[in-house]
Amino acid sequence: MKGLLDISRVKLGNIPCIYVKPIFVTEETPTVIYYHGWESNKDNNLFLGKILAFHGYNVILPDAIHHGERGKLERYGAQELRKYFWEVILNTVKEYEALVNAAEDKLGLSMRRIAVMGSSMGGFIASGVFASNTKTKCLINMNGASAWQKAEITFKAMDYEGKGMADEEQLEEIISYDPLSRKDTLYPRPMLLLHGDADTSVPIDIQRYFYDEIKEGYKDKPERLKFVIEPRLNHYKTVRMMEETIAWLDKYL
């Protein structure tokens, strides 16, 4: 890959990002925006960004608030998860428009061919962005959840204190931005869902619920909604997931 990619650090809409692009980039080269997970940051996902760029895509890796260069927390334990998890997700979805506008102005990227992608918490974010922005062409969600209210109910059931991660005010916003609340905006845009069936962090049942709720809406174009289940896999990304991702982007972006 060395010598084939151009890697730079930029601020887009005041958001610290890493921008990875092929050296043969043109105005029509499509762009993937990749969102990291809880406790991670843009730098931890640079290798993934390089893989995508090597296959011909511009890649933007932003830091979410309370991560990386944006006020990294001292620890990321259960209390911090309860306090910040949904705040990070909702904030990132809301700032998407500023990010892509800056990418168009500052980097000269075409906004007509954008995919959003994320893993774990980043999968929640990518799904929320996709549902809220109808010009975004396709979605890849790895080990995240696209049914937010269902996710919060599941987290509350999993919480040893029975608290969940949202207060009443946040729950209203979660329902408002929940991709299922906006499912009429999804079809016929392509969505790829990738998940391990032994995931103990974000149980696969949440994503299965989402898939079952929207698949009827894709009955005329069922190939545009794909749910890939990795057997015996916990909360990890795999080579097969990346192969599925590249094939999806090559087909739909």
Measure the CA–CA gap between 77 and 31, rounded to whole angstroms. 33
User: pLDDT tens digits for 66-94?
Assistant: 999 999 999 999 999 999 999 999 999 99
Measure the CA–CA gap between 58 and 7, rounded to whole angstroms. 10
Average pLDDT, integer, range 26-40: 94
Say if pTM beats, i.e. exceeds, 0.85.
Answer: yes
Using the predicted structure, report yes or no on whether residue 64 has a pLDDT greater than 90: yes
Give the pLDDT score at 114. Answer: 97
Give the pLDDT score at 111. Answer: 85
Q: Where are the domains of the chain?
A: 5-252
Measure the CA–CA gap between 112 and 245, rounded to whole angstroms. 19
**Residue indicated by tokens 């909360």:** 235
Using the predicted structure, report yes or no on whether residue 191 has a pLDDT greater than 60: yes
- What percent of the chain has a predicted confidence (pLDDT) above 90? 90
Report which of residues 153 and 1 the model is more confident about. 153
Q: What are phi and psi of 11, to 5 degrees?
A: -110, 125
User: pLDDT tens digits for 150-174?
Assistant: 999 999 999 878 788 888 889 999 9
Measure the CA–CA gap between 16 and 208, rounded to whole angstroms. 33
Measure the CA–CA gap between 250 and 98, rounded to whole angstroms. 26
Q: How confident is the model at residue 2 (pLDDT cuts 50, 70, 90)?
A: low
Using the predicted structure, report yes or no on whether residue 26 has a pLDDT greater than 80: no
* CATH architecture label of 5-252: 3-Layer(aba) Sandwich (3.40)
Helix (H) / strand (E) containing 83: helix 78-94
